């Protein structure tokens, strides 16, 4: 049992009478373990932020848009010719020669990182999509799906999600205390994720 393992560690370091609380994720087995040990549970703030970020996957407008981006990213990562052409366009446009990032739902902030990289490389992606060497290989519908509207949505997405991403990084430090940052971060997030009049329809779906 998890509780037994934790108790053994506490006894080994002779602190079992000194520990009154533990910070854990939201897994049910940890809830049971702490209950058996009669310890107060303090939820992991970083994990809670990640769960909030994962909610984006359940928003229909975001999901449909991401399907288009993901299909482009997957194709650029798998096609050897696409990689060559993309690298050429990156050099011509003086863009960082970065590979595309594909999101993985269980990996923290991976959707944000995928969209951020798409935004960074959009000029090169757009140029590559017009290259005749790729137009012969790439499905026509994929090329037609990529529009300036996708670029605008990527800008909105990164603008809105960047604070959540950086907040997660701030409270995920292993070598410095972060508890004092929680309330200021919460206040900032609450202010940031309040819909404003100037927000686009797409941006408001994220908020």
Q: Are 109 and 145 members of one domain?
A: yes
Q: For residue 75, how far is the Cα from the chain centroid?
A: 21
Task: Indicate if the pLDDT at residue 115 is higher than 70.
Answer: yes
Over residues 173-189, the pLDDT tens digits come to: 777 778 888 889 999 99
Per-residue pLDDT at 154: 92
Residue 116 — pLDDT band, cuts 50, 70, 90? very high
Residue 41: which H helix or E strand, with range?
Answer: strand 40-43
**Total count of domains within the chain:** 2
Q: Are 97 and 118 members of one domain?
A: yes
Distances (CA, A) of 72 to 10, 23, 41: 50, 40, 43
Per-residue pLDDT at 118: 95
Mean pLDDT rounded to a whole number for the chain: 86
Q: Are 75 and 175 members of one domain?
A: yes
Q: Are 97 and 30 members of one domain?
A: no
Q: Are 7 and 54 members of one domain?
A: no
Task: Indicate if the pLDDT at residue 19 is higher than 60.
Answer: yes
Q: Are 80 and 171 members of one domain?
A: yes
Mean pLDDT, residues 8-35 = 89
Residue 23: which H helix or E strand, with range?
Answer: strand 21-24
Distances (CA, A) of 145 to 139, 140, 187: 10, 9, 38
Task: Indicate if the pLDDT at residue 144 is higher than 60.
Answer: no
Distances (CA, A) of 175 to 25, 171, 178: 19, 11, 9
Residue 42 — pLDDT band, cuts 50, 70, 90? confident
Q: Are 70 and 14 members of one domain?
A: no
- The reported pTM is 0.82
The range of the structural domain enclosing residue 198 comes to: 49-206
Give the separation between CA 175 and CA 162, rounded to whole angstroms. 23
Residue 9 — pLDDT band, cuts 50, 70, 90? very high
Q: Are 39 and 138 members of one domain?
A: no
Q: Are 38 and 59 members of one domain?
A: no
Give the separation between CA 85 and CA 94, rounded to whole angstroms. 14
The residue with tokens 């908020």 is 207
Q: Are 56 and 18 members of one domain?
A: no
Give the separation between CA 172 and CA 44, rounded to whole angstroms. 10
Q: Are 72 and 34 members of one domain?
A: no
Residue 142 — pLDDT band, cuts 50, 70, 90? low
Q: Are 14 and 82 members of one domain?
A: no
Mean pLDDT, residues 44-73 = 86
């Amino acid at each position: 049992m998890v509780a037994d393992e934790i108790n053994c560690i506490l006894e080994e370091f002779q602190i079992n009478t000194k520990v009154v609380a533990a910070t854990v994720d939201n897994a049910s087995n940890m809830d049971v373990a702490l209950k058996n040990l009669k310890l107060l549970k303090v939820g992991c703030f970083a994990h809670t932020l990640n769960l909030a970020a994962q909610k984006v996957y359940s928003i229909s407008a975001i999901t449909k848009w991401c399907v288009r981006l993901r299909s482009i990213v997957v194709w650029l990562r798998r096609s050897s010719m696409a990689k060559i052409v993309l690298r050429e366009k990156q050099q011509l446009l003086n863009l960082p020669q970065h590979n595309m990032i594909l999101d993985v739902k269980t990996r923290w902030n991976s959707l944000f990182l995928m969209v951020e990289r798409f935004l960074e490389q959009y000029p090169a992606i757009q140029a590559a999509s017009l290259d005749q060497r790729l137009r012969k290989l790439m499905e026509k519908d994929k090329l037609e799906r990529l529009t300036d509207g996708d670029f605008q949505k990527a800008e909105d997405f990164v603008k809105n999600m960047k604070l959540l991403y950086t907040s997660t990084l701030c409270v995920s430090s292993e070598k410095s205390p972060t508890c004092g940052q929680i309330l200021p971060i919460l206040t900032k997030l609450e202010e940031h994720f309040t819909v404003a009049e100037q927000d686009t329809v797409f941006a408001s779906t994220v908020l």
